[in-house]
Amino acid sequence: MPRGDLFPDIAPFETGLLPLSSGHVMYWEQVGNPRGQPALFLHGGPGAGAGAVHRRFFDPHHWRVIIFDQRGAGRSRPLGELRDNTTPDLVSDIEVLRRFLGIDNWLLFGGSWGSTLALAYAQAHPERVQGCVLRGVFLGRDSEVEWFLHGLRRIFPDAWANFAEHLPPAERSDLLGNFMRRLSDPDPFVHLPAARAWSQYEGSCSTLMPSPETVASFSQDRTALGLARIEAHYFVHKLFLPVGGLLAHMGRIAHIPAEIVQGRYDMVCPPETAFELAAAWPKARLTIVPDAGHSALEPGVRTALVGAVERFRRR
């Protein structure tokens, strides 16, 4: 897939491992301009981890981009660890990283679960947020989780069948509970096939047109295990969000500017949620990409995201 609308590949100018609570260790990196405007990239999932392509949404001459892998995800250790892995833990980790790097405030950039975490962090620490660029909005409500587990069957019956049929028929009435049981099993012969089934399902539904490249990236063992195990864990616990959910606390960040980018045919996180968020956020600008699904790397979405970041740069 050509990605000429993204900035060129770039290597980090600094990387590190930061000890956290309960034995977790965070991988982090910085790219771009060491004296530039700080921006924090928040990956999806939860549990998906970040990749090199995520550095390319930002002009490296202007931005000091901080990217990290959340607890249990990507290059953070231990992979797939669920102990003390909650949304408040991740919000706390972001503050640990901010203080460690000596940053006063930053732009938040997050898609899918990354949008959820960006909102949770901004509502907890609004004084640390310059603005938000959000994509494929997910608010973690029961209806959104139910859509992912069951509603997608209406649009992707083949992908859903492959997902559900990983379980024996007697267990399909509780997809989440029975996948969680397998994903948390210590035996790789149990948890890895379950992780691949979960992750391939998500990857298959993430693009407007079929993308074997996307499905293959979701199928890699490390990606699949982190994504599936941690995502199921968060779903079981209602995403560890506050009473009333994120929309109930939008008053805390009403003054913060935001850019929301949403694919019209996003089936993983349908556009209804982005519309509701924009309606509750006076300073938000909503851009609907007419020919895109969920993935940040679909042509229209990545162009819109780069444009959104550039508008913050010009501010």
> What is the value of pTM for the model shown?
0.97
Domain co-membership, 124 together with 250: yes
pLDDT of 75-86, one tens digit each? 999 999 999 999
Distances (CA, A) of 129 to 80, 118, 119, 124: 29, 9, 10, 10
pLDDT of 134-148, one tens digit each? 999 999 999 999 999
pLDDT of 19-71, one tens digit each? 999 999 999 999 999 999 999 999 999 999 999 999 999 999 999 999 999 99
How many percent of the chain have pLDDT more than 90?
97
Tell me the pLDDT band of 256, cut-offs 50, 70 and 90. Answer: very high
Tell me the pLDDT band of 4, cut-offs 50, 70 and 90. Answer: low
Q: What is the DSSP letter of 242?
A: P
Q: What's the total number of domains in the chain?
A: 2
Is residue 112 part of the annotated active site? The answer reads yes
Please name the residue that has the structure tokens 């199928």.
219
Number of H-type helices and E-type strands within the chain: 10, 8
Is residue 294 part of the annotated active site? The answer reads yes
Query: Per the domain annotation, does 205 fall within a domain?
Result: yes
Rounded mean pLDDT, 106-124: 98
| CA 160/CA 153 separation, integer angstroms | 5
Query: Which of these three, 238, 273, 299, is where a domain ends?
Result: 238
Domain co-membership, 187 together with 84: no
| The one catalytic residue among 76, 115, 294, 295 | 294
User: Which residue range(s) make up the domain with 58?
Assistant: 14-140+240-314
Domain co-membership, 223 together with 262: no
Domain co-membership, 226 together with 154: yes
| CA 172/CA 238 separation, integer angstroms | 20
Average pLDDT, the chain: 97
Domain co-membership, 249 together with 260: yes
pLDDT at 111 over 60: yes
Domain co-membership, 132 together with 244: yes
| CA 35/CA 180 separation, integer angstroms | 44
Q: For the chain, what is the largest distance between any 2 Cα atoms, rounded to a whole number of angstroms?
A: 58
Tell me the pLDDT band of 315, cut-offs 50, 70 and 90. Answer: confident
Tell me the pLDDT band of 2, cut-offs 50, 70 and 90. Answer: very low
Rounded mean pLDDT, 192-214: 96
| The one catalytic residue among 76, 112, 211, 295 | 112
Domain co-membership, 264 together with 135: yes
| CA 217/CA 313 separation, integer angstroms | 31
